[in-house]
Amino acid sequence: MAVPEVIPIAYEPRHRTEAIGHYAEGQFLGSVTYAFPEGFRPDDGWEEHKRLYTVLHTFDAEGHYRDSEIWCSGTWADQQRAPHGPDSVLARAQAHLAKLLRSLPRRRYTDIAIRPFRLTVDGVLFGLLTGEDEGGPWAELYPDRLGFGPPWDGLYET
């Protein structure tokens, strides 16, 4: 079995695919996720390199990639210095995602089906990449590290 051209992703409220669905112009996939730049090897000071991103990808109705809004709210170190309140890195990232989602006309949360895509922002890989894992077909959402595979039912593995 090969990776399908269009990969389903299931909407799961209160889980990591809670900000996906359809809107007037197509489909969307949003998340708040930490990421390191590509090739980064953790060492002393890694906390300054682990960044929290608000991500909103948009797609047309057939799942072709359209555009992305990617915003860094701060680092892991910033979050540890001020972990609570509306000015924390996490609170700012979540508020920004909520604002982006509100901007999508006729938004509804539901399953989506999108095609592979990739882009790099701030040295961080974002996208839905395909290939093989342990000899079988596989797709993985980056930097979220959500994996999709047979039976291609939209449910993810971490």
pLDDT tops 80 at residue 43: no
pLDDT tops 80 at residue 131: yes
Helix (H), strand (E) at residue 88: none
Average pLDDT on 69-84 reads 91
pLDDT-derived band at 16 (thresholds 50, 70, 90) equals: very high
Burial class (CB in 10 A: 0-12, 13-18, 19+), 56: buried
Q: Are 105 and 23 in contact (CB under 8 A)?
A: yes
Q: Give the domain ranges of the chain.
A: 7-148
pLDDT-derived band at 33 (thresholds 50, 70, 90) equals: very high
Query: pLDDT tens digits for 54-64?
Result: 999 999 999 99
Calculate the average pLDDT of the chain: 94
pTM for this entry:
0.93
